[in-house]
Structure formats: structure tokens, C-alpha cells
């Protein structure tokens, strides 16, 4: 079911599938999207301080009538808030906006240059104090993860990176698997730019699915958590309807072969701050 979870390296259950709300407007747009998603069975929502819609996400979750423990909430510390004290403050701001006692997953949004170790110490403190159920990172390459590990008490539970058929992240995926760090895909639909690819159209016909569903199923079949974004009920429903089929190993490989190391977002090694 849509509620199936992966078990993170600290034992916390995280849904394989969720809703991303980047660029969804605070207020009615986000609230309606979250309400629709929850009605359709979504139980995980990915926001960030950067998205400026945490308060709307929190409001929508509360008014949905779900119990707090029935929903998995992710948010992230933004680049300008990195550092130990800043991160503690930024977390408290996010937590208050979400209006929750705890956050399920808190991520360092981008590695940047040299503050992520101090930032991580703040996440570890908040984790120990049980304000966060799992701590992780985003946009970390192998070398960032190795640097982080030098002084870390806890291994990140999750690494959320751009991941789609044009960017399969082979090295990061392999390393995360070895280290028991759950890989999570952002931009899983390549922000809508890959859905007319002939292979995806062909596989959509073969499986009786849509190209978006083929790509999202491929995330799950490659053991990657996925959080496609939409604010439209029909697409939210379409995107979630990927739990009644699986791709053959050969088709998984064919999609993987579309890789061109092509990004829609920043290269973490060039996005320095
Ligand atoms: P996405 O790949 O999820 O693409 C979303 C876009 O694809 C939509 O705006 C819409 O135009 C289109 N779309 C959605 N469903 C469709 C369907 N069924 N058919 C056709 N088109 C469809 O891109 P995203 O929003 O950038 O990524 C998903 C989530 O990942 C974000 O909302 C955010 O939560 C997270 N994210 C994180 C980072 C990071 O740095 N950690 C960066 C970007 C996004």
C-alpha cells in the first residue's frame, strides 16, 4: 500500500512515497494539496524552511484530522542558517511554524563548504533530545558524507538528492547502500521534463500506466524514497497509483541507461556558501 515504509538505520519507519511541496504557494494552494494528498493516502510530506510554506503544511495536517503520529513530516535547515547555534534557532522556527512537538526528519538542505559539521552537531543534539525522530542530509556527495563521518556520532538516516532517469547518482547510491543511508529522490519527475521520452512512453503502454507512474515505480524498484510534487488532485492521484505493479529487471536497467548525469538543480560541488 501507499503506506509501506522503509526502515531507517535508527529503526524509524519512513514512507517510501510522499508529497513534495517545493514552489507550492503558502495558503490555500499548499493546504488543498496536502488535504487531497492525505485523502488519497499520502502519509509523508517534504517541506523546507526555504519553501516558506511550513505553516500551511502544519495547518493542513492538523485540520486533516490525522493523528500526529500518522504523518511523516520532513523539513530542512537552509544554507544561511548553518552553524551550531543558528541551526538550533532555525529548527525551533520551523517546528513552531509547523506547530508540532517533533519533526520526523530534519535535513541539512545543501552541504555548502565548511559549516555542515557544526550544523550536524546541532541536528545530533536535537535528535538526542527527541525533537527529531531521524536526522539526515540532502545533496551530499560521497566526499561530503565521508567528511561528515569523521566527527559524527550518528550516521545520517537519509540523503535526499536529485534522482531521475537522467541522473542516476551511481556512486552516491552505492555508497549510501553500503552505509545504510536511505537514498531519497528529489525532482523524481525531472520537474516534468522527461515524461515524453520515447522509452517511458513505450513502457507506459506496456504496463498500462503513465510515464510519470513508470518513473515513480522505477524509484521504488531501485529502493529510493520518492516525493513527487503536484498541487493538482488528478496528478496527486496518478502519482500515488504505483503500488499495483513492478517493473521487470530488464526495464529497470533500460531506464537506468538513460542516465546522462544531467541535473536540473545545482551541482553541490559548485553551490558553495
Ligand atoms: P518533480 O520532479 O517532483 O516535478 C514536479 C513537476 O512535475 C510539477 O510541478 C508538474 O509540473 C510536473 N508533474 C507532477 N506530476 C505530474 C504528472 N503526473 N504528469 C505530468 N507532470 C507532472 O520536481 P520537484 O518539485 O522539484 O521535486 C519534488 C520535491 O523534492 C519538491 O517538491 C521538494 O519537496 C523536494 N526538493 C528538494 C530539493 C533539495 O535540494 N533537497 C530540491 C528540489 C526539490
Q: In the chain, where are the structural domains located?
A: 5-191+224-229
Q: Closest ligand 1 atom, CA of 192?
A: 7
Catalytic residue list? 51
Residue that is written with C-alpha cell 550536524 in the block: 120
Give the residue, by CA position, lying nearest to ligand 1 atom 25. Answer: 229
> Which of the listed residues 52, 230, 233, 273 should we mutate to test ligand 1's pocket, taking the one with most ligand atoms within 8 A of CB?
230
Q: Is the CB of 20 under 6 A from ligand 1?
A: yes
Q: Closest ligand 1 atom, CA of 238?
A: 18
The ipTM is: 0.99
The answer to whether 184 and 158 are in contact (CB under 8 A) is yes
Q: What is the pTM of this model?
A: 0.98
Please tell me the distance between residue 94's alpha carbon and the centre of ligand 1 in angstroms: 21
The answer to whether 1 and 41 are in contact (CB under 8 A) is yes
Please tell me the distance between residue 226's alpha carbon and the centre of ligand 1 in angstroms: 10
Q: What is the pLDDT along the chain (273 residues), one digit of tens a residue?
A: 566 999 999 999 999 999 999 999 999 999 999 999 999 999 999 999 999 999 999 999 999 999 999 999 999 999 999 999 999 999 999 999 999 999 999 999 999 999 999 999 999 999 999 999 999 999 999 999 999 999 999 999 999 999 999 999 999 999 999 999 999 999 999 999 999 999 999 999 999 999 999 999 999 999 999 999 999 999 999 999 999 999 999 999 999 999 999 999 999 999 999
Backbone angles phi, psi at 27, to 5 degrees: 100, -145
Q: Is the CB of 189 under 6 A from ligand 1?
A: yes
Look at residue 1 in the predicted model and tell me its pLDDT.
Answer: 58
> Which of the listed residues 111, 163, 192, 204 should we mutate to test ligand 1's pocket, taking the one with most ligand atoms within 8 A of CB?
192
CATH of domain 5-191+224-229: 3.20.20.100
Q: Is the CB of 265 under 6 A from ligand 1?
A: yes
DSSP single-letter state for residue 70: G
Please tell me the distance between residue 40's alpha carbon and the centre of ligand 1 in angstroms: 18
Give the residue, by CA position, lying nearest to ligand 1 atom 14. Answer: 230
CA 70, distance to chain mean position in Å, is 18
Q: Is the CB of 41 under 6 A from ligand 1?
A: no
Alpha-carbon distance 132 to 75, whole Å? 10
Q: Closest ligand 1 atom, CA of 190?
A: 2
Give the residue, by CA position, lying nearest to ligand 1 atom 34. Answer: 20
Q: Is the CB of 212 under 6 A from ligand 1?
A: yes
74 φ/ψ sector (left φ>0, alpha ψ -120 to 50, else beta): beta
Give the residue, by CA position, lying nearest to ligand 1 atom 13. Answer: 192
Radius of gyration for the alpha carbons in the chain, expressed in angstroms and rounded: 18
Please tell me the distance between residue 162's alpha carbon and the centre of ligand 1 in angstroms: 10
Amino acid at each position: 500500500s501507499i503506506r509501506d515504509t522503509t526502515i531507517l538505520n535508527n529503526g524509524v519507519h519512513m514512507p517510501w512515497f510522499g508529497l513534495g511541496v517545493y514552489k507550492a504557494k503558502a495558503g490555500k494552494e499548499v493546504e488543498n494539496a496536502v488535504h487531497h494528498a492525505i485523502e488519497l493516502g499520502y502519509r509523508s510530506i517534504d517541506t523546507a524552511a526555504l519553501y516558506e510554506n511550513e505553516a500551511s503544511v502544519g495547518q493542513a495536517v492538523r485540520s486533516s484530522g490525522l493523528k500526529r503520529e500518522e504523518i511523516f513530516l520532513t523539513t530542512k535547515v537552509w544554507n544561511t542558517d548553518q552553524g551550531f547555534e543558528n541551526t538550533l534557532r532555525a529548527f525551533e522556527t520551523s517546528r513552531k511554524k509547523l506547530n508540532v512537538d517533533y519533526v520526523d526528519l530534519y535535513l541539512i538542505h545543501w552541504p555548502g563548504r565548511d559549516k555542515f559539521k557544526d550544523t550536524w552537531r546541532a541536528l545530533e543534539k536535537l535528535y538526542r533530545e527527541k525533537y527529531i525522530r531521524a536526522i539526515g542530509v540532502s545533496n551530499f556527495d560521497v566526499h561530503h558524507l565521508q567528511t561528515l563521518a569523521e566527527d559524527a556520532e550518528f550516521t545520517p538516516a537519509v540523503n535526499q538528492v536529485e534522482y531521475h532517469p537522467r541522473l542516476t547518482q551511481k556512486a552516491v547510491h552505492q555508497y549510501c547502500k553500503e552505509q545504510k543511508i536511505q537514498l531519497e529522490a528529489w525532482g523524481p519527475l525531472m520537474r516534468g521534463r522527461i515524461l515524453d521520452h520515447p522509452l517511458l512512453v513505450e513502457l507506459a503502454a506496456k504496463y498500462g500506466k503513465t510515464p510519470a507512474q513508470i518513473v515513480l515505480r522505477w524509484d521504488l524498484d531501485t529502493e529510493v524514497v520518492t516525493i513527487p510534487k503536484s498541487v493538482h488532485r488528478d496528478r496527486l492521484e496518478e502519482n500515488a497509483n504505483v503500488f499495483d505493479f513492478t517493473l521487470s529487471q530488464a526495464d529497470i536497467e533500460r531506464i537506468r541507461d538513460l542516465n546522462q548525469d544531467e541535473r536540473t538543480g545545482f551541482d553541490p560541488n559548485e553551490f558553495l556558501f
